[in-house]
Amino acid sequence: MSEIQSDKNQAAPKRSPLKWAIGAVLLIGVAAVLYVIASASFKPAGVVDLKEFKKASLEKLEVPAEPRGQPATVFTDGAGKELTLADFKGQVVVMNLWATWCAPCKKEMPTLAKLQASYATQPLKVLPISVDRDSDLNLVRAEMTANAPLQVYRDPGYKLSFELDPRAQGYPTTVIYDKQGRERARLSGDADWSSPEAHGLVEALLAEH
């Protein structure tokens, strides 16, 4: 009985600081691996990172960390029919806010026309939305006629410019939406939308499900 009591009174062996450190490192490593696995599992399937197209003519391309929603702002077509961006869901949309008094806007417009023509049989829609006044509608129509197959779309009240999040910083501003209607990229200023990198960006979004 005395031997049993003696064993109980013996102090438990202490764990060395080195063993504690090794155990802590192993726990941190396991946690890091689990975090990576969890992060990968929550990444939307088939979503392409568009930053690879931020070069050359698209050097000013902005790619949000997460896709953004689109405004429900009403604009009109050339016949005065009211539309929203949601009407184009299922298509890759290249929305271009522009004005006839904006020289960079007019400079890039032929490249937007080439982009639309290049994907005429695919679900791509280039939306050049003019912020010109009603009194300048004839100038808007003339610009679109010169850049077929683009069509007239209008927002003379600048509503889309202000309801984008973040707001448009000036003109031209081009916002690119995927087929689900999410903003995936944006570019402030003019660009060559007929360039290889512009085609690559569009094709990456067209390939998404």
Least confident range from 26-30, 96-100, 122-126, 188-192: namely 26-30
Q: What is the reported pTM? A: 0.78
Within 13 A of 176's CA, how many CA atoms are on the CB side? 25
Q: Could you say which DSSP state residue 155 is in?
A: -
Whether the pLDDT of residue 43 is over 50: the answer is no
Query: Is it true that the peptide bond before 123 is cis, omega within 30 degrees of 0?
Result: no
Give the burial class of 89: count Cβ atoms within 10 A of its Cβ; 0-12 exposed, 13-18 middle, 19 or more buried: middle
CB atoms within 10 A of CB 147: 20
Model confidence over 116-137: pLDDT tens digits?
999 999 999 999 999 999 999 9
Mean pLDDT on 159-177 = 97
R_g of the chain computed on alpha carbons: 28
Whether the pLDDT of residue 19 is over 80: the answer is no
Mean pLDDT on 81-98 = 98
Residues facing 68 on adjacent strands:
183
Q: H/E element holding 92?
A: strand 92-98
Task: Determine contact, residues 156/136, Cβ cutoff 8 Å.
Answer: no
Mean pLDDT on 178-193 = 98
The mean pLDDT of the chain is 86
Whether the pLDDT of residue 54 is over 70: the answer is yes
Interaxial angle between packed helices 103-118 and 196-207, expressed in degrees from 0 to 180 and rounded to the nearest 10: 50
Per-residue pLDDT band at 15 (split at 50, 70, 90): low
Distant-in-sequence, close-in-space partners of 102: CB < 8 Å, separation ≥ 6: 171, 172
C-alpha distances out from residue 126 to 112, 152, 180, Å? 7, 11, 16
- The Cα 165–Cα 69 span in angstroms is 8
Per the model's pLDDT, the better-predicted residue between 101 and 46 turns out to be 101
Q: Could you say which DSSP state residue 84 is in?
A: -
pLDDT, residue 48, reads 83
Mean pLDDT on 80-90 = 97
